Each structure stands twice: as C-alpha cells, then as structure tokens.
Amino acid sequence: MHSAIEFHEVSKRYPAGLLGRSALAALSGVSFQVEPGQVFGLLGPNRAGKTTLVKILLSLCRPSAGRVQRLGRPVHDRRTLSRVGYMHESQAFPRYLTASGLLNYYGALTLVPDSDLKARVQQLLDLVGLTDRAQEPIARFSKGMIQRLGLAQALLNDPDLLVLDEPTEGLDLAGRCLVLDVIAEQRRRGRTVLLVSHVLTEVERLCDSVAVLVQGRLIHTGSLRALTGDPATGGTRSLEQALQDLYEKAA
C-alpha cells in the first residue's frame, strides 16, 4: 500500500534581497512519510517551514527540489485534490454568503455529486452545531462559528486525507471537543489526518507519529512514544519537554 503523504529531500527557496538575487531557504532536504490511517502531527516553532510544507502538499506552490507524493500520486497530479480536505487556521470566507450557501458552493468545487450534496450539507451543519444559523450571512458569525464552518467545509468531500492547520484556534471547550472527536472518527474510518498544531495536549492525545521542523530542517520524525521517551532514565517525559530538548540541540 502506498503512503498517504511522502516528502523526499524536499527543499524550497524564495527569492530575497535586492532584485531577488539571493535566496531564503524555507525548507532544506525534508523527508518523511505518513502512512494511511495515521493522525500525524507537524510540529515546530513559528517560521519553521510548516506552512510552506502544507502549501507544497496542497499544490499551492512548487518545491525547488525533491519529490512529493499525495495519496500515491505525484503532487502535481491535481486529480487527487478532490480526495483532500483542508482547514486553514484563519478562514477567509465571503462574508455575504450564508453558511448553507458556502457549503453548497464548496461542495460543487470539490465535485460532490449534486444528488448527495444537499444531504451532506445538512449532515455537516448538524455536526458542527450551525443548523439554526444556516441561512444567516457569515458576516454575523463569531470567530468560533467561522471555525466550525471551516471544519464542515473541510469534510464536505468525505476526504481520504484531511489537513488541519490549527483547527481549534478560537474555539470554546465544546468546539475543541468537536474537532478532537472528528479527528478520532477519521482515524477510526481509516482516513489520514495531518495536524498542524501548537496545542501540545491535543497532539499528545491524538497523534500516532510526528515530524518536527526547525528553521526549515527536519530534526525528528517518528512515533510520539519515541519522541517522549527519556533516554536518560528510560521513562517518559512530556511532549513540551521533549520539544524543548530538541530545539536546544538544533540551536
């Protein structure tokens, strides 16, 4: 069986300096795989390269070097995008649309059959607790409601690969529990989740494996248990402490 995600020696450089004559390295030789059915955490401090990696995975930009596969196909094969769901950390939905109208619009974009779309939209509005606000314009929504709508949008096409970028940002306790339940359900169904999060308690609770980036370099990849094991004592340590140790070594 092919990997759900594969990065092999991936680098990305952006033009920098006067007239773009120098280059800024956002990623340098990053390699890891995500197996089907895993919840995989992508960790690292700000400006580590996580967003660039996600953009490459979603065909929003191209790597400068290396090879990337998505759901068993080269990342430039955009046909696999119909099997991917993505939730951005800061949604920018058209504010004049209603929640229902937005989901119908994105359903068409992601090739959900017309015969299934109406029922799917209703199911997801129920799931995220927005049924009673379905006909209201998004301009009236709070940050948390927009996040809930973003989760529904990411699930519209019943994706094989779900990419979540800080999905609990701005959510209350009930909203956070909803997101965690959705991720657990995706795993139960054998779907793959790539989770980008700074909330380490969520990563510890959900992720099977993680990759850790610092300044565009991969400094660790493997099971969460391998990361939190304490080589000095043979016991375990918190994910926060494990990451601090990694960051100090990488400095």
**Mapped to the 3 state alphabet, what secondary structure does 32-69 carry?**
EEECCCCEEEEECCCCCCHHHHHHHHCCCCCCCEEEEE
Q: Is the pLDDT of residue 100 over 90?
A: yes
CATH architecture of 5-250: 3-Layer(aba) Sandwich (3.40)
67 or 110, greater pLDDT: 67
Confidence of residue 233 (pLDDT cuts 50, 70, 90): low
Q: Is the pLDDT of residue 78 over 70?
A: yes
Predicted model pTM:
0.94
Q: Is the pLDDT of residue 33 over 80?
A: yes
Interval 195-218: pLDDT, tens: 999 999 999 999 999 999 999 999
What pLDDT shows up at residue 220? 95
Interval 144-188: pLDDT, tens: 999 999 999 999 999 999 999 999 998 999 999 999 999 999 999
Interval 215-229: pLDDT, tens: 999 999 999 988 888
Q: Is the pLDDT of residue 41 over 70?
A: yes
pLDDT, average across residues 103-112: 89
Give the integer Cα–Cα distance in Å for 146 and 129: 11
Interval 45-64: pLDDT, tens: 999 999 999 999 999 999 99
Give the integer Cα–Cα distance in Å for 55 and 175: 26
251 or 246, greater pLDDT: 246
What pLDDT shows up at residue 232? 66
Mean pLDDT of the chain: 93
Give the integer Cα–Cα distance in Å for 119 and 99: 14
What pLDDT shows up at residue 5? 98
Give the integer Cα–Cα distance in Å for 110 and 231: 46
Token pair for residue 7? 């990065």
**pLDDT > 90: what percent of the chain?**
80
Q: Is the pLDDT of residue 234 over 70?
A: no
Confidence of residue 24 (pLDDT cuts 50, 70, 90): confident
Token pair for residue 148? 């809930």
